[in-house]
Amino acid sequence: MSDDSHMHCCNDADNSNDSNNVGSADLTALRERIAQAVRDVKARTPLAQSFTNFVTINLVANAQLAAGGTAAMSFLPDDVIDTASISGADYINVGTLLPFYKDALPQIARAFRKTGHKWVLDPVAAGIGKTRTEILRAFRAAPPTIVRGNASEIIALATMWGLISPDEASRPAGVESVDEVDAAADAAKTLAAFLAKFAPNGQAAVAVSGAVDLVTDGERVYRLPGGSAMMAKITGAGCSLGGVTATYLAVAEPLVAALAATLLYNRAGEIAEAQSHGPGSFQVHLLDALWNLTPEQIADSPIR
Amino acid sequence: MSDDSHMHCCNDADNSNDSNNVGSADLTALRERIAQAVRDVKARTPLAQSFTNFVTINLVANAQLAAGGTAAMSFLPDDVIDTASISGADYINVGTLLPFYKDALPQIARAFRKTGHKWVLDPVAAGIGKTRTEILRAFRAAPPTIVRGNASEIIALATMWGLISPDEASRPAGVESVDEVDAAADAAKTLAAFLAKFAPNGQAAVAVSGAVDLVTDGERVYRLPGGSAMMAKITGAGCSLGGVTATYLAVAEPLVAALAATLLYNRAGEIAEAQSHGPGSFQVHLLDALWNLTPEQIADSPIR
Amino acid sequence: MSDDSHMHCCNDADNSNDSNNVGSADLTALRERIAQAVRDVKARTPLAQSFTNFVTINLVANAQLAAGGTAAMSFLPDDVIDTASISGADYINVGTLLPFYKDALPQIARAFRKTGHKWVLDPVAAGIGKTRTEILRAFRAAPPTIVRGNASEIIALATMWGLISPDEASRPAGVESVDEVDAAADAAKTLAAFLAKFAPNGQAAVAVSGAVDLVTDGERVYRLPGGSAMMAKITGAGCSLGGVTATYLAVAEPLVAALAATLLYNRAGEIAEAQSHGPGSFQVHLLDALWNLTPEQIADSPIR
């Protein structure tokens, strides 16, 4: 299943509210690391490998290339594990599952854990289908470095892994249309802290996509406004954001990678919306904008 | 296999011949129901789930989103059957088959029949390959609500199900280039009447794509002129029309859904052809036109 | 895996150096056969069937349609072998493998050999993964008519089949960034000569994609300058070139098909680069250019 409820809705490009929970000196340093990650991808064209769904696999590859990286897609454990030795990071998206994934995906996750290989998980449609649930549960013992999803996916995964109680998980349902990302803030923070315990160098991140995106490393929480409502009118905005997050993860620490990718997508979405006349031309302009945005344009975006 | 012989060829936007076999009062009422279906999709963004081929799966999802619906794609019976409980209708396209589909697809069709879940079948390449034939034969016992295909696919399916004699089926072959859709008119009507017997509320439809498209509920036959010959120069025009038919079926009765989707595609094809310089830009403009066409523009199209 | 290192870098449209290793009378005759192949595809819309990866399957089909052919994609041996009886040539690309391909692909290759059916192989990522290596090794006993790949893939395949020694294979590694295609010239020639021994009418070809593309029938070596560096910034330039090569192979001898497809892509890449603002619009303009280029524009391109 590929359900793309990834949505952005505002065009608030004002970054005067930046210092909400982040010291401004810290933020300046963080912005420099974001700009450096974007520069490094453009200079080094790192390989990020993907095991992703069939609906948006082409857009994932094209978005990674447009951001400056290179792409390789595979589904066979022998192939994926071989290629991981030359890829800077991997991306796993549990959208359209085939029967053999039930064994293949946990096997791959265990191999990544053994070698300390960094990877991004997109838990698409978490909570739907017995096979998907089994796979996502299995990842608990060999978890990713970054999880990127929408609010309900993040809550479903954190619940599935026993990190938050089903009570907490069910509470936000009523407010989902109003403020869905904030409803997942605690789940995201708890999940990121859990991932960090397993991460080779103790660093991890969770990114929640929504009207105002949220990124956390388990300690600090950053909110990233902006983007375009048209993102929800093409398939694969969220999936390809996950892929590009892996591209940045190949050259940067998890928090910086998650921030850089989300900021890039928000800016590219705004540009594409202004230039397009519908979802067909929106996707074309989105890929062009991913290619043309500069490290500075990305790093100087609003962060609260 | 994904064989896209779906073709439209005329630009006859004149609807003066509307009353061929349809009373004009009936037609006015029908047009209002078509406009309402288009409005309902835009207002409610219904989910239509697809089990479709790998070639055009991205275009199917993007076309459903552009028409105003939402999309979810899946191949695992547990996933598909779970998701069907929240989808307004499903779409099954037998293009690129994998070995496990032989059991999965009949299992899914039986589950839909048990719950009275509405679905659209695109019998791509009907008649080619032993596995596809087995799957299509199995659907006879748990049939779809709508079948959409080209003339030879409709004839092949009706023959396979024993609804028309192989004699009838072979007769039209000689005239296929001249008037292929009309050659399938009897097969389409017979097939629609058969589907209606199984349909939860006794309503079904068959849509035959061609130079002048044909839609029937088993009693009346409607002919829809227009569209663009460029439709046959991109892959997935027919597949995505099937997906959008499922989107409309989520909010409307089968005849109205089949008419609305086909009319939308004919108008969008004409607009895209006028604006494009080849098949690359045609697809971009097609998606934009699917997004921008109004309920009135769609419903006021020529119907004979 | 779909690794698209297919790259073109120059815009040298000057064909004054044409007569490097080719007599100018021969070249004039060759150009006429190339123009005729392009004309024949546009007139006859031949079917070329593909068994290809999930990343770029949509672009392969759309490129074949844009070049004037028709497309059908399949993965089941019964389906592929049935359809091959009505397709002019087939295309096999070993990008994203599934477990059942290990048996299916050799079975299909043997069926093609038995009936003398022409096909193009794209040995994507040759050398990576146990399953891919087993499949590529198996093709040695039932080889394709044309192989198209980048320099390292051609060298890897020729080594795997024991046509060149591992010593020869490892030598060019050091110079890959400078002149990678020429490093594969001997491997390509040897491979083409091997393929020709198996080919129904004793004719075969190998195409190596790079800054200056190389095509050989095992005797003569042709170099084709031009194209666009943006080809490496979209996924599927190489894969879809392989598919279009199969489209031309449906109407022409292998050398002419490989030359026509590569020349078409170089010219289309140059046009698309001049018209686009990034990889999103590049792909749109590429498909439009594949559709609009004339037989003469393609055949009159520089050949050395």
How far is Cα A231 from Cα A240, in angstroms, rounded to an integer? Answer: 11
Identify the helix (H) or strand (E) that includes residue B72. strand B70-73
What is the distance in angstroms between the Cα of C261 and the nearest Cα belonging to chain B? Answer: 18
Q: What is the pLDDT of residues B181-191, one digit of tens each?
A: 999 999 999 99
Q: Give A21's pLDDT tier (boundaries 50, 70, 90).
A: low
Q: By three-state DSSP, how is residue A35 classified?
A: helix
Q: Which residues of chain C have pLDDT under 50?
A: 1-19, 171-178
Q: Which residue in C54, C79, C288 has the most chain B C-beta atoms within 10 A of its own C-beta, making it the best mutation to test that interface?
A: C79
Subunits with 3+ Cβ pairs within 8 Å of B are A, C
Q: Is A71 helix (H, G, I), strand (E, B) or coil?
A: strand
Tokens of B99: 């070995």
pLDDT band at A87 (very low <50, low <70, confident <90, very high): very high
Confidence of residue A178 (pLDDT cuts 50, 70, 90): very low
Q: Residue A170 pLDDT > 90, yes or no?
A: no
pTM flag (> 0.90): yes
Minimal Cα–Cα distance from A178 to chain B, Å? Answer: 17
Q: Neighbouring chains of C at 3+ CB pairs within 8 Å? A: A, B
Helices and strands in chain B: count of H runs, count of E runs: 13, 8
* Candidate from C76, C98, C283 with C-beta closest to B131: C76
Q: Tell me, what's the ipTM?
A: 0.91
Contact in structure between B278 and C66 (CB atoms under 8 Å): yes
Contacts of B61 in chain A (CB under 8 A): 2, 55-56, 235
CATH of domain A33-299: 3.40.1190.20
Nearest-neighbour CA in chain B from C75: distance (Å): 7
pLDDT at residue B154 is higher than 90: yes
Residues of A in contact with B79 (CB under 8 A): 1, 97, 125, 128-129, 131-132
pLDDT in tens, B43-77: 999 999 999 999 999 999 999 999 999 999 999 99
Percentage of residues of chain B with pLDDT beyond 90 = 86
B134 close to B152: Cβ distance less than 8 angstroms:
no
- Mean pLDDT within A245-252: 98
Contacts of residue A98 in chain C, CB cutoff 8 Å? 98
Interface test with A, best of B60, B76, B93, B108 (most A CBs within 10 A): B76
A173 pLDDT higher than 60: no
A84, A112 Cβ separation under 8 angstroms: yes
pLDDT one-digit tens code per residue, A143-166: 999 999 999 999 999 999 999 988
Sheet of C213-216: strand order equals C70-73, C47-51, C89-93, C119-122, C146-150, C205-209, C213-216, C221-224
Tokens standing for A211? Answer: 């009207």
CATH number 3.20.20.120 is the correct assignment for the domain at B24-299: no
Q: What does the alpha-carbon distance between residue A268 and residue A256 come to, in Å, rounded to a whole number? A: 18
Give the mean pLDDT of B190-216: 96
Which pair of structure tokens corresponds to residue A228?
């375009």
Tell me if A55 and B70 make a contact (CB, 8 A cut-off). Answer: no
C53 close contact with B: CB closer than 8 A: no
User: Is some CB atom of chain B closer than 8 A to the CB atom of C12?
Assistant: no
Cα–Cα dist A163/A261, whole Å: 26
- The residue ranges of every structural domain in chain A are 33-299
Tens-place pLDDT, residues B80-136: 999 999 999 999 999 999 999 999 999 999 999 999 999 999 999 999 999 999 999
If we measure between CA atoms, which residue out of C111, C45, C89 comes closest to residue C249? Answer: C89
Q: Which of B71, B79, B291 sits opposite A131 (nearest CB)?
A: B79
Q: Tens of pLDDT along B245-264? A: 999 999 999 999 999 999 99
- Given a cut of 50, whether residue A301 has pLDDT beyond it is yes
